[in-house]
Chains A and B, each alone.
Chain A
Amino acid sequence: MIRYTASLVLLVLLAVIVQQFIPAFTPLFGSRLMLVVLVFLCSASTVPAPVMLMLAFLCGFLTDAENAIGPHGGDPEVYTRPVEPLRFGYSIALYAALGFLMQGIQPLFRQGKWQFSAILSGIAVFLYLLVEYLLINFVRGGFSFNRWTFLRIAFSSGITMLLSPLVFWLLFQLADRSRYTIRFDGIRRRKRQPAF
């Protein structure tokens, strides 16, 4: 378990670095492959809640460290209505919420039905981006949501979801090497007893 958790942390750090070199898909409305989110979501399906929360903190912290923008600054008499940035740390809460969502169908995943988790990872990425965008609207005021924004979120979720089988495969490899059991953990089908 400890070895598997450590390898997940390393995988997240690797994803953070690889993410730096993945460009946005400009023809697809600027959508992007959300590698760190994907690695977290797939990992969340394979670990118990405490480890998931630890990963949520790590991923959210690193995401905000990379993306949080500073306050506008300047003379408040001139810039009377500065645009508020999102608070550092909001991603941690978002990651945790999505982690619990992924754990909701963990029993199915442990039965070997990873397809449901793969689809749910796409839905979770969609929710992540949607909530993030709604938060921006809430903090800055003036709600707006157009077709382009929807398509950007949808394509980002779709592209990310397509990569989830690969990440699951990678996680199974890591689990094997770490001697950690993902499948059939605690779930056993009861054998039918003969009537007589």
Chain B
Amino acid sequence: MKPLNLLALLVFLGGLTWALTRSERSVREIQATYYRAISPFLTVGSALETRAREFLDEVEHSKMLEAEVEAMREDFGRLKLIESQFRKVEAENATLRRALDFQERTRFEVVAARVTRRQPATWWQTVEIDRGEDSGIATAYTVVTDQGLVGKIDRLGDHRSTVLLLTDEACQVSAKVEGSPEVGIVQGQREQFGGAPRLRLRFLSRDARLREGMRVFSTGRGGLFPADLLLGEIDRVEPGPLASEAIVRPSVDFQNLGTVFVLTPQKEES
């Protein structure tokens, strides 16, 4: 081997070792820097893409009408979500007042975001949205639609972020089945293609009595996702020797995600 090649190989191995030993925090910083660097290009690209799409849309629809419908759709989804959260908070408030004379001082805030890119990676089930750190979003924040849980924020940029979808194997949610004492962990499956992804509800009891159509909600345990977010419906149950598993049909239509909402943490009123 030539001395120059040997030297290059040693330098490369040193660089590889450096990269492989980066801490999680360093990796996040690298990713944030990367997103910041490519952000101007993406913004210009998105603007061009949007302009082209608007031009094509104008052939069939009025631009103004399109914008109005989009805004109304966003508002409708947001209001529906706020209403459901409001009802939950109201019920919780009443219960706590009755039991402990405790006044609930928390509320949800939501940030509406548009899905700008679907499936940007080969093996991960992710989408990109047009809101980032500048909109008050942070890593691991919950993302929902009015249909239910979408996923959580994974990578974060100033003006955009990546959402790890519920259908990805790496996204796990502590879940409960409505009308049953069963609790478990819902997660996506590794090899899912096509328009009908399925989730797997693991760690159920061996003789879990579940029926098709029973709804699955988040429990709120584990510190990642709030309670009572709809995840899907039971499709079928697969009994096992030690524990049963259930296949869950997601409530969200992941193929047609347009507008999503990021739940920002509950703030205490001063």
Contacts and interface: CB of A to CB of B under 8 A. Distances in A.
B41 A17 contact: yes
A6 B31 CA distance: 24
Interface residues of B: mostly helix, strand, loop or mixed?
mixed
A144 B191 contact: yes
A79 B174 contact: yes
Contacts of B16: 57, 89, 92-93, 96
B19 A69 contact: no
Interface residues on B, range: 35 or more
B236 interface: no
Interface string B25-48: 001101101100010011001000
Contact of B187 (A83, A92, A136, A146): A83
B221 A20 contact: no
Interface string A73-101: 11100110111010111101100100000
B189 to A, nearest CB: 9
Interface string B175-214: 0000000000101001101000000000000000000000
A70 interface: yes
Contact of B172 (A82, A133, A146): A82
A82 B224 CA distance: 13
Contact of A69 (B4, B20, B33, B154): B154
A68 B118 contact: no
Contact of B190 (A30, A32, A88, A144): A144
Contacts of A93: 16
Contact of A83 (B11, B117, B122, B172): B172
Given A20-B42, A21-B49, A70 B139 contact: yes
Contacts of B119: 23-24, 30
Given A54-B12, A69-B126, 10 more contacts: A21-B45, A23-B117, A24-B118, A53-B8, A64-B19, A67-B120, A70-B139, A74-B172, A74-B223, A133-B123
29 contacts: A16-B38, A20-B45, A21-B45, A24-B118, A24-B119, A29-B193, A49-B5, A54-B8, A56-B12, A57-B15, A60-B19, A68-B27, A69-B155, A69-B164, A70-B24, A74-B172, A75-B221, A78-B185, A82-B172, A83-B169, A88-B27, A88-B30, A89-B19, A90-B20, A92-B19, A133-B123, A140-B169, A146-B191, A148-B191
Interface of A: 16-17, 20-21, 23-24, 29-30, 32, 48-50, 53-54, 56-57, 60-62, 64-75, 78-79, 81-83, 85, 87-90, 92-93, 96, 129, 132-133, 136-137, 140, 142, 144, 146, 148-149, 152, 156
